[in-house]
Amino acid sequence: MGTRQTVINALIGAVVGVVLSFLPFSTLLGGIASGFLEGPEETDGALAGGLAGLIMFVPIGLIAFAVFAFLGFGVGVGGLPVGGFFFFLVFLGFAVATMLVYTVGLGALGGYLGAYLAREYPEKHSSTTETIGTRSPDSRRERRREPTETDGVEPTRWHEGREDDREGLE
């Protein structure tokens, strides 16, 4: 499941999520991008989206840390009494856990939705992956079988397309 292609799709989704981080639920959008690129299997899409969320956690966490440092949270912790330091550690742990669930959870949900969209729109999926170069046109997942003579015939009228019946009508 976790191939090199999955990591590349997760990196693309993480870049989308970080670039759009000024929007609410940007991690969901990054997960959708990585899941759509990963393909029509929802499990693979959720894996790529979760990995994208994990990658997005690092820059978003650094941005949040910079904002907290700018506002004065966590600066000068050495002067706090023991109870205040314990409260700060609990607050910090809760903030990190919430941010991790936000990025990874919404990334995985977005990956699932992106894979669903890839399954619903296979032409768009294959053209997108070929355009950006993440999959070759002759990839095993995208390989199509050769058409047979019964492909265009309706199932209820399969016997009407046979050559034996046509000879008798002429």
Per-residue pLDDT tens over the stretch 13-30:
999 999 998 898 999 999
d(CA 45, CA 6): 9
Report the mean per-residue pLDDT for the chain: 80
Q: How far apart are the first and last CA of the chain?
A: 56
- Using a pLDDT cut of 70, give the percent of the chain over it: 71
pLDDT tens by residue, 98-122: 999 999 999 999 999 999 999 999 8
Q: Is residue 158 part of a domain?
A: no
Determine, yes or no, domain membership for 16: yes
CB 135 within 8 A of CB 9: no
Q: What contacts 40, CB < 8 A, 6 or more positions away?
A: 115, 118, 119, 122, 125
Residue 152 lies inside a defined structural domain of this protein: no
Averaged pLDDT, 58-74: 79
- 137 assigned to some structural domain: yes
Residue with tokens 């990190």: 96
Is the pTM higher than 0.95? no
Band of residue 140 on the pLDDT scale cut at 50, 70, 90: very low
Residue 158 above 70 pLDDT?
no
Q: Tell me, what's the pLDDT at 86? A: 81
**Residues in CB range of 73: below 8 A, 6 or more apart:** none
Q: How many domains does the chain have?
A: 1
120 neighbors 42 (Cβ within 8 angstroms): no
DSSP 78-132: GGS-HHHHHHHHHHHHHHHHHHHIIIIIHHHHHHHHHHHHHHH-HHHHHHHHHHH
Q: Is residue 156 part of a domain?
A: no
User: Domain range spanning residue 75?
Assistant: 4-142
Is residue 8 situated within a structural domain? yes
The reply to whether 166 falls in a domain is no
- Residue 73 pLDDT greater than 70, yes or no: no
For the cut 50, the answer to whether the pLDDT of residue 91 exceeds it is yes
CA-to-CA separations, 12 to 34, 49, 135, 162, in angstroms, rounded: 6, 10, 14, 51
Residue 26 in domain: yes
The structure tokens listed for 2 are 């976790």
Tell me the pLDDT band of 87, cut-offs 50, 70 and 90: confident
